[in-house]
Structure formats: structure tokens, C-alpha cells
Chain A
């Protein structure tokens, strides 16, 4: 049988990344702006002030334009698990499929049912019913994020499952371990809070543009107050959960952390790179070239953030390749890390044991099968290493992960500051006099998407080559397709998504220029 070409894996990854990144242009606005709209409508419900209704309806119109395209790209993502990652679908479908099905049954139906009332029910139902529908739409969208993030977190931190050598797949053993894993909870909160930043920045930017043009002053100031509060809360909580996320990465995905920080040689009292320029001359982890051309470091901060101990040793890429350091675990214990080479040997042993187990079973030699099964179970934590072509494959693209991480953090701090400032000045009723700040808020619209996408680049590129951490690399997860087919579908998706995005942006710009309408 022909070997799977690496170009197929890369193309399938590119197609999935394309779909995911386009999907993530629309989802955070749905989640963030949805919350803002729900708050606005609540204020209308409580005060009866028609200006709040007009404000709500204006933002709802923009919400609607964005919502549909998010659904379309989401559909593709779900089916691409089967079309392009069929081996993955079987290998972990027993665990991964359940959250997707639950997402469909509860979250999607809640969202798609109540959004009908939200858009078309203003004159058909009472104010209370309408308000409840708006909140339920937001709740449905957030619940949908919960289930897909549970699934994603499980890929980064596989837990609550056992490998069944008879069915040749992983099977769920503990639903609560999957749903309530610390990584899942943290990832869900970090992601949803970051969407509040996107919603806040969008609402703030558009309102700031109105103020700059001298239009819709009351609507803009009302909107900015809510956007600033939601955005500030989002930014603060994202930072807090981001800290938790970094800690989890340090414990479970040390290579990702090393790439995020450009840390090649591990050290105790490791500093956090506040600003750095990587040295493009550094090609491999074991050459003697300095990884940085320039950097500003906060001493001890990386050790402190990673392990809550300023003196803790943070392994670098070289250490992870060589092994021999003390790797801490979630439960507070630690073990001596194996080298990448050793893990590859153990991975191959696991695969060989699985093959021998199947042979013994087919020959009805149960005692021999039991021995091979034991060998498989011992080596299973390294199973995915057995598929790697070389040990260097476990190093993700460092520059991409490093710059994405730092850009995300810098932009996150920028938004924390801008929400604080605009919120304060709008409360003081003097925001409209600070034109530079209003322009900065408008500039925040593209920047917030850049920030949000960077987050996913760190999460997903940083964990390469693993589709399931340590258990399955992308190479073993792919469908057996011809590369031409994937090239064609990649190009078609790229054209279609780009065309639709251009249409959405154009419609949004027209709607914003037109401004709010009379109340219906």
C-alpha cells in the first residue's frame, strides 16, 4: 500500500485551518455582540425608553448579517472531521462525537429557534417573551461554544478514555472527566470572555465612528458605556483565564509553552519575554545560534506564571528533546521526562504490541494476547510518537507561535486600557472631545480580530504535530484522499469564503453608514 504523502497532510491541515479561521471571524462577534444586545434590550425592558429599543434594533441588524455566515462555516468544520480526517473520526469518534451531537441537539436548536423570535417577534410576542428569546439565543450560542471547546480541550488534554485494541479506537470511560476537565473549563471561559472583547471593540469602534461624524450621539454614548463594561470585563477575565491556560500548557504541553516564549534552553527563574525579535538565522534547536536578536525580559516571571514558583525550572525545546528534567503533572506529582527519541521507541513498541495483540487474538491465543495488551497499555501514552518520521517533528513552527502569542498579549493589554479609558470618559460625558481616542477605537475593530485569531494560532499551531496530544499526530489522522481533490476544495473554499466575507463587510459598512432606523 502506498504511503500517505506529507503534502496531503499539509493540504488537509491548510483546508481545516482556512475554514476554522474564517469561522472564527464570525463566531466571536455573535457571542460578544449578542451579550451586548441582550443587555441593551434588558435596559429597554426595565426603563421602557424607546431609545434603548432603537439602539437594540440597530445592533441586532448588524448581528443578523454576521450570524448566518458563522453558521455556514461551522457546518463545514463539522463535516471536515469526516471528509478530511476520517482516521481521526474513527480513532476518537467515540469521545469526540458526543459533544458535537449534544451541541446540535441543545445549543444549535436553542439558538436557531429563539433567534426567529429575536428578529421577527417584536410585534408578535410580549416584551418579556422577546427579551427571554434574545437571552436564550445568546445562551444557545454560548452553549454551542461550550461543547465544541470541550471537544477541542479534550484533544489537547485527552482524559476519561481507554484505548480498546479490539475495536482499534479510544472509548469514553468517564463523561464527567471529559466535560469537566480543568482544561475544558478554562478553555471555555477564556474563549467566551475573549469574544466579549470582540463584541465590545466592535460596538465601541462603530459608536466612536458615529461620534467622529457627529451622528447619533445619544445612541453612541449609550452603546459605548455598555461596550466598555462588557469589553473591560471580557479583557480582565480573559487575562485571568489566560494565566490559568498558560499554567495548564506548562504542565501538559511544555513544547507549546517553549515555542510561545522562544525558549530553547530551559532554566530556573525563567524570564517572560515582554518584547522580542527572533533571530531568523536559528534553524535548529541544537545549533549554537542565539534565538533572539533583541528581547526585553521580566526576570522570573515565566517560572512564576507557569508553576507558581519563581525558582521553578521551565524546560526549553532542547530539554524536551533530550529529556531528563522533572516534568510536573496536574495532580502535583512529577516524573523525569523521557527524551523524544525514547518516546518514539516506546511509541513504536506500542504499535508493534497492538499488531501482535491482534495476531494473537486472531489465533485465539489469549494468554499471548494478554501479554501484548499489557505492553500496549504501558507504552500507550507514547502511541502517537510511533508514527513520527523524526524526532524533530514534535517542534512546532516557533516564530509563528511566538509572534502570535506576543501580539495577542500586547493587543489584549491595549484593549484592557482602551475599554477602561473610553468607559471612564463616556461616564464623564467628555469622550467626544478626545478625537484621537475615538480614532484609536475605530482602529480597534481590525485589531481585535487580529488578536482573537492569534489566540487560535497559538492554541492550534502550538500543539503541532498532535491532533490528540501525544496519542495521534496529524499524519495518522488524515483521510486517504488524492492531493488534487484537496487542492481543488481548498481553492473553492478560499474563493467562496473570501467572496462571502467581502459581501458581509460591504453590507456592514453600508448599514453602519445608513445608521439606525425608526422603531418598528
Chain B
């Protein structure tokens, strides 16, 4: 197992974490459905409590996704976060306000009223997802940055990365591929949230309205996702020379060919999308079917992992520079040292154990669907 193996392995771990994160964004999606699915104050409280028992998983996955990127690909961390400053800052603001909203919403003395915290949840649900999607879209569309490691020898300005415009990442919102990804993630999260409500809340009115929301949100998701795939598959992309790992060349239809070069990844995308659509289809057309979230969840993880794999594998530049192609980041030039990747890989062998106890606890909490009576009888409810 050489350096290349570990670089690929860590891109896989990042992609998998990204896939799990997108699945868990159903929490954010659900936050935007509270007033559409819940018509009474109690119903809304039930919905918030159903989501509130999961929000920390999403948050933790986001933090781990960031931490793993920092550890495995520190140059990306430096270039993207230090460059697309405003894009990331807006994402962070969307997430800070979420963290407190569940706990503070129904507490007496929360100063700003229940509605304010619900508004925070909606801002997080819309802004957080769309902007995160835009930021991930940069893996394909690229950013306006230059990397000059030699700057470190210039005591007057030792900063090795510069961003090419004053918009600091906000310009990424105007790029169709990024926006399509952000919007499709938004509708996907809403669809999955509705599936989650059906599975985890024992309330017929909520189930009926959720079932309606599955269909209402799945249609725009599908249109936007196909639009994203269309842009992606016809996009050009940079690849690095597998021998010297430095020379970059531009290839037309790069991502389409990459899927064809990696049939297993293509299969993951197809199976993932199939499972996702299957979960939606079964839920919409079989009123007794409540397990749609598990199908769509597994499908989302598979499909998103496949899309992220194609960004970094097959010698692709996973963060192309739009103003200086030679500065583009690849898993070969942006990764940590072999030693660090090896240490982290040993540590990562324990991840299945972590997933096992998460699964166990998830099952314990969701063993019986949430009811209004449980919320009213629980001292710690949101």
C-alpha cells in the first residue's frame, strides 16, 4: 500500500462522509417543512422533537467532514476556507443559529420568542443546505485561486494562497452547476425529511401531509438533479499526469468519461439513484409503506459518494483553479504526508465500531414512533 493508495483511500472516506452528511441533511430539510406538515402548535412541536433527536448527528458529521478534510487534504482547507471566505462564513452562520434553536425554542426566558428560533431553523434549512451544495459544487466548477508555495520565503507577504476576486466565494452561487446542486440538495433534504416523518411519527395527519410533501418535493428534486447531472457530464475537467503527478491537462466530458472509466462508481450512482427513487415511489403509491427513508437514505449515501469519488479519483483535479490551472488541487498535491495518512488510516479502522453504536442508539430511540403523548410527558422536549 503506497502513498497513492492512501490518498485514494482518504478521498473515499471524505466522499463517504459527504454522502452520510447529505443524507443527514434531512434534519435541515425537515426544518423547512415544520409549518407545512404541522398545522397545530402541538404537531409542529412533535415535528421539531422528531428532528431534534437527530440534529446533533448532522452537526457532528459536518464537523468530522471538515476535520477529515483538514487532516487528509490540508491544502484544500487552506485554499477553500481562506479563499471562499464569505461563502463559508455564511454557511457557518446558518449552522450556529441551528445549534441553539432546538434547545432554546420552547424554553421560558429565551428572550427572542419561539418564532425567532423557528425562523433560525428555517434559515438553516434553506441557506445551510443550498450554500453547502454550492460549496461542494466547487469541486467540479472550480474556484478563482492561485497557490504559490514559494511565497513562504517572502517575509513581507508569506501567504501561499490568494483568491482572485473580492466576492470571496459568493460568485460561486451564480454558476449554474453549483446552484443546481445546491437546489437539488435542498429539495432532496425536504423529500427525505417527509419520508423520515412518515417513518418516525405516529400521527395520521402528519403522515398524510408528509406523503404529499414527498411528491411535491421529489419532482423538483428530480428535475434539478438531472440538470446537475447534465451540466456535470458535459463539463470539462483537469487531470494530472499519473507518473509525474504534476502536469495537468484539460479534458472535455471529463466526468462522463471518468464514470465510464470507473464502472463500479457508475454502478454506485445508478443503484443509489434507483434506491432513492424506489423509496420515494413506494411511499407515494403505497399508503401503508413507511420505510421509504431507509431506501432513500442508503440511495443518497451511495449516489453522493459516487459523485464525490468522481471529483477526486481517476486523476481528476478535485478543486480546479479557474484562473491558474497549474494551481488546481488534486489528491496527489493537496494531501497530507504518507505518514499522517497512514496514522489516520489506522485510526479510521475503528469507524465501523462508531457506526455500530450510532445505529444501535438510533434504533433504541426510534424503536417506537414518536407520539404527541410522549412529547407532553417528557421533561426534556424541544
Contact = CB atoms under 8 A, between A and B. Distances in A.
B336 interface: yes
B314 interface: no
A507 B72 contact: no
Contact of B75 (A90, A102, A133, A354): A90
Main secondary structure of the interface of A (DSSP, over half): helix
A78 B60 contact: no
B286 interface: no
Given A79-B92, A89-B78, A90-B75, A106 B365 contact: no
A61 interface: yes
Given A109-B60, A116-B53, A97 B85 contact: no
Contacts of B365: 116-117, 120-121, 124
Interface of B: 53, 56-57, 59-60, 62-64, 66-68, 70-72, 74-75, 77-83, 85-86, 88-89, 92-93, 95-100, 102-104, 107-112, 149-163, 166, 168, 336-337, 339-340, 343-344, 347-348, 350-351, 354, 357-358, 361, 364-365, 367, 377-380
B175 to A, nearest CB: 21
B71 A97 contact: yes
Contact of A90 (B74, B97, B110, B380): B74
Contacts of B57: 112-113
A240 interface: no
A492 B81 contact: no
B288 to A, nearest CB: 26
B380 A119 contact: yes
Given A87-B160, A172-B340, A351 B155 contact: yes
A106 B67 CA distance: 12
Contact of B343 (A172, A355, A479, A507): A172
A90 B329 CA distance: 13
A263 to B, nearest CB: 30
Nearest to B377: A520
Contact of A76 (B56, B92, B158, B344): B92
A2 B378 contact: no
A496 B80 CA distance: 24
B99 to A, nearest CB: 4
A371 interface: no
Contact of A481 (B85, B336, B367): B85
Contacts of A82: 66, 70, 77-78, 80-82, 88
B21 to A, nearest CB: 12
A358 B81 contact: no
A94 interface: yes
A265 interface: no
A26 to B, nearest CB: 10
Interface string A164-185: 1001110111010000000000
Contacts, number: 295
A481 B78 CA distance: 12
Q: Which of under 10, 10 to 19, 20 to 34, or 35 or more describes the interface residues of A?
A: 35 or more
Contacts of A101: 64, 67-68, 70-72, 344, 347
Given A60-B380, A108-B64, A478-B159, A81 B343 contact: no
Interface string A55-88: 0010011001101110111111011011111110
Interface in A112-138: 112-117, 119-121, 124-125, 129, 133
Contacts of A91: 152
A457 interface: no
Given A101-B344, A102-B347, A61 B71 contact: no
Contacts of B155: 348, 351, 386-387, 476
Contacts of A489: 89
Contacts of A124: 364-365, 367
A69 B156 CA distance: 39
Given A75-B59, A78-B63, A101-B70, A64 B103 contact: yes
Given A65-B103, A112-B59, A507-B108, A98 B343 contact: yes
Contacts of A61: 379-380
B15 to A, nearest CB: 15
Given A72-B99, A520-B379, A503 B112 contact: yes
16 contacts: A1-B156, A72-B99, A74-B63, A86-B81, A86-B82, A87-B160, A89-B74, A94-B337, A97-B72, A101-B68, A102-B71, A116-B56, A119-B380, A351-B153, A352-B153, A503-B104
